[in-house]
Structure 1
């Protein structure tokens, strides 16, 4: 009897959550319910202390296996982007709100999202050092290159010239947004932090499939 009551209470809490965040997300009611079910499935074997949360390793596993992400730095930054309460875990609300931008965000939402991923130290700017670090980690080095870092430094310089609107040697959110609005390909200039279209479509198709 207690288990039935507990299950009913949990279902009501999930319904209340979807109602509360419904206007903030780009999912239908049925898609929201499917995301709840997927989250419950991903966390079903968790111990009580983390019963309703994805920890870092679980979240990275989702990024790798489902969204084919491979860059360690980007995956850690995505974890921070989803984990808005900074408790080193992703709860159900953060999961749905994060996926809303990750999968169906507007241009303005994804601009802010990607900028925050690239702003490694969270100071509100993407510095040359951060660009270098991101590009060095994501680009494949050619074995014939004597100094592979030189090519990355050149890319950083090109990026600054193209995107740094106020010419202060770093990118503010305004710089980044203006550049992306002119050329949408610059949205992921410093590494992949959104899923490829075919992978995104494949995941969205699962929202119509019950677990």
Structure 2
């Protein structure tokens, strides 16, 4: 499973890489606008307007500085002029990243994870708060975010049904362009393997405590649990 999902079609960038083209301040390469102090960047930043209290609050709750938040906001507004994105628009944007498969179900789960207010829209605040965790959070922060993604009904535990839904949505999204070819029983096998390693007390569900403990003590599980970074 890990080999399949971590090897996208040849010549293709990961979803994270393509998604972050909208987020230039998060790139680590030498062309990042955060590293370049060009006159053009400074001019563009001067045109971005904030309510000071909003910017200050985001600086406190995220790991982004003022300049990064300004660049992120400018990029977000260019894609979402209304200041928020609804689920259907989110799915449409996401489908462009995986034209060879059906990304609608995974995009739905991801949208739910980003929609902190549960009002059917992802605001800039929602977006940067999750992005900060995904890109700059501690290992525990990232794993907790992943757990929340998998815990579909938010009851504090992951069931086999929930994990099956997530895994199947990832396979559907990858489509037919995976190597090696996906077997029909692959999602079920992945879920069984997940529960064998994670469900420590064998009660049929995985709690946050079991999830974190299993991931943090097993290098292979840690690598597997970071797969979501390649599809965001």
User: What TM-score results when the alignment is normalised by the length of structure 1?
Assistant: 0.70
Encode CA deviations 1:23-61: one digit per residue, 9 max, x unaligned.
2212122111101111221122xxxxxx22111133334
Task: Give the RMSD, CA atoms, in angstroms.
Answer: 3.3
Q: Displacement of 1:115 after TM fit?
A: 0.6
Which entry has the higher C-alpha Rg, 1 or 2?
A: 1
Query: Is the 8 Å Cα contact of residues 74 and 191 (structure 1) preserved in structure 2?
Result: no
**1:171-202: CA deviations, max 9, x gaps?**
11111111111235535757953246xxx8xx
Q: Following superposition of structure 1 onto structure 2, how do residues 69-84 of structure 1 map, counting pairs within 5 Å?
A: 71-84=103-116
Within-5 A mapping of 1:3-152:
11-13=49-51, 15-44=52-81, 51-65=82-96, 71-139=103-171, 148-149=184-185, 151-152=186-187
> In terms of mean alpha carbon deviation, does 55-64 or 169-178 score higher?
55-64
CA shift digits 1:58-106 (9 cap, x unpaired): 3334545579996433321221111111111011211211211232222
Give the match's secondary structure for 1:54. strand
Structure 1 gaps, min length 5? 1-9, 45-50, 201-211
User: Any idea what the Cα deviations from partners look like across 1:141-166, whole Å, max 9, x if unmatched?
Assistant: 88896xx23x4333322221211122
Number of positions where the alignment pairs a residue of Structure 1 with one of Structure 2: 179
Q: Decide which moves more: 135-144 or 123-132.
A: 135-144
CA distance in structure 2 between the aligned counterparts of 1:165 and 1:32, rounded to whole angstroms: 41
Q: TM-score, normalised by structure 2?
A: 0.64
Give the gaps of 5 or more residues in structure 2.
1-47
The range that moved more, 30-39 or 136-145, is 136-145
